[in-house]
Amino acid sequence: MVMFVFISMLISIGILWLMFYLAKQRESTLQRKYQLLIDLRQLLFLCRQHRSITHQALALGQRRDTELSELHDTLYDNSNHLIAIAHFDNKPMYRVLQIKLKALIKEWPEHSVARNQMMHGKTIRHCMFLMDEVMLAWLVESNREDLSDEYHINWQQVIDAMDALTQLRISIDEMDTQDGRIRLQHYSEVVRRRINQLALISPLTVASPSCSAALHSLSELHDHPAFQIEAGAMYQITSDISLSISHVYDQMLSDLTESLYIPLPKLAIA
């Protein structure tokens, strides 16, 4: 009888230890995914900041070398931290991102204004796709099909908006030609429609003053062929819209992480 009680206690202790171990493993996995999202959204913000500063340098000759040097160090530190905390199998993806960042930092002075915009846009998209990878894996592991289905639908709308914005940016470089102007007007309307669709996901973002003003300009450009606008103003419009798309996606992520774990913190912009 004593032996039976002793064995039962050992089994109970073993089960409790296993439950504790699995809970710790799950918490560690959740914390890693959560931290990856935090770091990636911060890196995305830094890439936008880098695009803005380098655009001013290339388009207006306004050099901010000290600020750029500090920003480059922060980009390196952030990408190194991503590689350090990523799962072993996923580290190559983050090393590729770091390689792109290094190329961006080194080569931007040699780029035209248009190419600088495009290269930064690709890096920003890369960050968002990595965030998508993290979120998809998280949803699969959580077995929340309801959240997964909604996320897939919303993510596709975000991607469609990003693709349309890319085409609009490409058309800016040739907006002084007749064919280029036609493409600019066409993609202005496409982008406007795509962004209005995102209002179903995050109405406050699309209704913000900067996004509303950008959409109004695109509407004017499409509806009035004689509407005059400079390339610099168009790039600013695309930057405002790009930021709005990121805010929509960030809202999606915040809602999901709150359902699965804890809400994302406010973005550190200092």
CATH number at residue 164: 1.20.120
Report d(CA 4, CA 233) in Å as an integer.
81
Q: How many CB atoms lie within 10 A of CB 115?
A: 14
The structure tokens 């819209």 sit at 241
129 plus 210 within the same structural domain: no
Cα–Cα distances in angstroms (integers) from residue 101 to residues 120, 139, 166, in the given order: 9, 28, 19
Where among 93, 123, 143 does a domain terminate? 143
Residue 234 maps to a domain: yes
137 plus 150 within the same structural domain: no
160 plus 123 within the same structural domain: no
Residue 8 maps to a domain: no
36 plus 128 within the same structural domain: yes
Q: Would you state the pLDDT for residue 270?
A: 45
Tokens at residue 234, please? 């168009």
Q: Would you state the pLDDT for residue 63?
A: 85
Tell me, letter by letter, the H, E, C secondary structure of 91-134: HHHHHHHHHHHHHHHHHHHHCCHHHHHHHHHHHHHHHHHHHHHH
138 plus 154 within the same structural domain: no
241 plus 170 within the same structural domain: yes
133 plus 168 within the same structural domain: no
Q: Would you state the pLDDT for residue 4?
A: 65
Report d(CA 90, CA 100) in Å as an integer.
16
154 plus 139 within the same structural domain: no
Where among 121, 143, 165 does a domain terminate? 143
Residue 181 maps to a domain: yes
181 plus 214 within the same structural domain: yes
Looking at the structure of the chain, the number of domains it has is 2
Where among 143, 160, 176 does a domain terminate? 143
195 plus 119 within the same structural domain: no
139 plus 180 within the same structural domain: no
User: How does DSSP assign 198-215, residue by residue?
Assistant: HTTT-HHHHTSHHHHHHH
Q: Would you state the pLDDT for residue 146?
A: 87
Residue 21 maps to a domain: no
Residue 53 maps to a domain: yes
Range of the domain at 94: 30-143
* CB contact at 8 A, 235 and 172: yes
Q: Would you state the pLDDT for residue 75?
A: 96
* CB contact at 8 A, 61 and 270: no
Residue 213 maps to a domain: yes
124 plus 184 within the same structural domain: no
Residue 34 maps to a domain: yes
pTM of the model: 0.85
Total residue count of the chain as it appears in this document: 270
Which regions in the chain score pLDDT beneath 70? 1-6, 8-10, 12-29, 268-270
Q: Would you state the pLDDT for residue 59?
A: 87
